[in-house]
Structure formats: structure tokens, C-alpha cells
Amino acid sequence: MLFNSPEFVLLAGFTFLLYYLRFFRNLQVHILTAASLVFYGWSSIELLSLLLICIFINGTLSWYVCHYPDHPRRKLWVTTGVVLNLGILFFFKYGPLAGKAILRLDDGIGAFLMSIPLPVGISFYTFHVLSMLIDVYRKNTDKTGSLLLPRNYWRSQLNQLFYIAFFPQLVAGPIVKAHEFLPQIRTKYFRDIPFEMAFRNIVLGYFLKMVLADNLGEFTSYLSYPALASQTGSQLLLLLLAYSCQIFADFAGYSLIAIGLCRLYGYTLPSNFNFPYISASFAEFWRRWHISLSTWLRDYLYVPLGGNRKGPVRTYINLMIVMLLGGFWHGAALSYMVWGAYHGGLLALERFLGTYIRLPRHAVIRFFQMLLVFGLVTLGWLLFKLPNFSEVIAFGKAVFSNGFYWADFRQVNTFYILLYSLPVLLWHVHYLVRDSGLYLRVRRFEYIVYGLLLFGILLLRGYPGEFIYFQF
């Protein structure tokens, strides 16, 4: 079920009405959990069964780990859970890749592995259950010092089912850690809803997705093989810029909708994007892009590996390991691993050069740094758009061999690409000037902007498509 479908609007609205009725106040978690299961099982009841089995097994392991802190098998329980979850993730997500490799050796096994369906959101909910296991093992507590899971086993199972299956963040995040979410489970009241904040997030999110990302998606469909071979070099670079704006608008839009919906139900999710395209370094980019993933990898992988505490060489190795695994997490294709290695290499190189070069703080220097980072990040998105590495090579050949023509920039398609890309760039510019006197004066009229966003959602939306990160 898509956020931009009529079925979802009905589900979310009906759930909201039931949720705040006084008669159902003690059943709020049950109502949201039931709605979440309907949301996920709408297209495939079989994949819903897999989700429920994973949650039940992990819920049981987490409960024992939480309430038997001195048990000699406690570490074994956690290890079993981690291996099991990663095994399920690898089977469903990377089984088809293995099937291609062994197809020549055994047609039957290869064909079976290639036919394995990819459960929507499996990468995201796997990280949620891993967070739950690790957090209770580390004996993380809420702000009052209480354990994360209640003593009652079935109540604990319900809380964990709700945490993992909560529909706004189930299939594409933001990834919220167990010790951040579980303490929020308590009775919610209609009077406490931050309506203005929820409205802003939801409207902006739908505008980014339905108006910008969906319209840009119609043009970036030409950024595929073999269609790209007939495009000029200038057209291909313009399409790549459009895809960079599309993937931001698509994923940031989803995250904002999810955050806004959660606020309506009384829950807070972490921010997932913080104007990433104004980054002047690659380290800064990863502090601003898909923040919930980068912090998850930092807390549960980079820091346990030693982080930057064991010397520069080990730091570079840790960066490469984390980014390679981050790329591999996105998909079972060589291009995703190359993308991870690409960003890992950029982070390591930047850190290395930073020990020898100290650029002066100046607005002009920062501007060119921003252009460099944006250009290289945009180039990297090509590996997302073209998962087959041979197609990436074909793109490079076409750019350099098909020529550059100024006439390409006078075409109608160019006008519309720039029209739907410009709001993404202006959104980042607004962040840069947010403290200026002129902006503070103009901000009084931002309600007009949100009115225009609603107008765009109603009249300018593109052809509806799935969110890009659903495939991960």
C-alpha cells in the first residue's frame, strides 16, 4: 500500500478516528498494530507471515535477554538472533544474486533462488529487530531507568510487534532505534497533537513525492539502457541532475510523510534529511543524508569496529567496511558495492587530505566545495539508477562520444526538468539564508508557500509510482 494511494488515506484516517476515541484509549497500541498489519499485508499475505514470524522469534529472544541479565546463555541468544536475522535478509535479498551465479551449475536450484520474492522493507525492519536485540543486550533503559521491555511476556511481544510493524516507518524508515521508540509507548491524547508540525511535514512530503519526484521520474525513465545510448552527452548530464533531485525528493518526501503521520499518533521519529546538498564535505553529507541509516551504522558497526580510536589506517579500513556494507545493504548488485566503495574511498581520501591541507574559512571556498561534493554525489547516484555495471559504462561512453549541444538546453523537456528540479535547489538555498534579515521578514508569509504546495499536490502531481527506497 502506497502513501499516495486512496486506500492508504482511508486506512490512516479511519485509524486516526478510532485511535483517539475515549472508548478505545486503552487499545491504542492494538489499533495501530492492526492497521500496520493491514498496511503491510495489503499486497501479500505471505510476506506478512514472514514479518510476523521474524517478530515473534526476535521478540522472544529479546525478552529473555532483557529479563535474564545473568543467564550464561544470554550472549548465545543474542548471537543466534543476529545470525538468524542476517540469514533471512541474505536469503531473500541476495538469493537471486546467488541463483545467477549457480544457474549454469544447477538449473533447478538456480531457478529457485532467482524466483525468491523480495519482501518490501526487509532491509529496514531487519535493522529494527537488530537494534532491539542489541539495545536490550547492552541493557539500555528509558529515561526513568526502567528496562525497555515489560516483564509481562505477551505485553512485551505486543510492544515489539508495534515497534517493528508501525506502518509509517515500516517499509522505508526512518530507522528508529529500540531505545528511542519503546519508551514512547504510552497513552496518547488528542490535545497533545502538534498539528502545525505534522501538517508542515505531511504537505511538504507529499509535494516532494507527488509533484517533484513523480514528475521528474517521467523524464529520468530515459536514463536507462538502451534509451541512454541515443541521448547526447548534454542530455545525459541533465537527466543525471534530474535523478539526483528526484531521489532526494522521493526519499525525503517519504521520510517527512512518515514523521508527520507519527506525530499525529503521538510518536516522534528521528529526522532523516537535513539539507544534504549544501554539504561542503563528504563527512558532512553523511551527517545530513539518510541520517537514521548513517547513525545506525555508526552506533552498531563503526564504533564497535573501533571507529577512529585505533589510528588513521584502522580508521580508513573501518570507513571502507562500513560503506561497503552500506552499499551491499541497498541491493544485491555489483553497482551497489561499487557505490559503497566509492563513498568509502571519498570519505577516507577526504580524511587523509584533511590532515595535511587546511583551507581558510571563506564563503567562496565553501561554495566551490559544495559544488564539488554535490557533483560527485550526483555522479554516484548513477550506480543506483543503473544497477547493471555494464550500463554505467555505456552511460560514460555515451556522455563522451555523443557530443554536447547548447540546443539541447532549449528543448521543452529541459524546461520541465529544470522546473521540477528548481524547488529542490531552492529548498536548500532557503536553509543557507535562514538567518538573514530578509528571510526572517518574508517568513511571516510562509503560509502562502504551503498554500501553493497544496495547489501543486492537487493539480501538478505526476504519474504515481512507488517510492524508490521500497526496492531496498
Catalytically active residues are 330
In sequence order, the β-bridge partners of residue 141 are 147
Going by C-alpha positions, the residue among 50, 77, 51 that lies closest to residue 63 is: 77
Q: Are 174 and 269 in contact (CB under 8 A)?
A: yes
Nearby residues of 69 by Cβ (< 8 Å), 6 or more positions away: 139
Total Cβ atoms within 10 A of residue 114: 15
**Residue in this structure with the C-alpha cell 486516526, named with its chain if needed:** 16
Longest dimension (CA), the chain: 73
CA–CA separation, 99 and 94 (whole Å): 9
**Residue in this structure with the C-alpha cell 515489560, named with its chain if needed:** 150
CA–CA separation, 226 and 221 (whole Å): 11
CA 449, 453, 455, 458: dihedral to nearest 10 degrees? -170
Question: By three-state DSSP, how is residue 331 classified?
Answer: coil
Total Cβ atoms within 10 A of residue 30: 12
Q: Are 225 and 177 in contact (CB under 8 A)?
A: no
CA–CA separation, 88 and 86 (whole Å): 5
Report residue 374 as a C-alpha cell: 554535490
HSE (side-chain half, CA atoms, 13 Å) at 381: 22
Total Cβ atoms within 10 A of residue 173: 28
**Residue in this structure with the C-alpha cell 521520510, named with its chain if needed:** 255
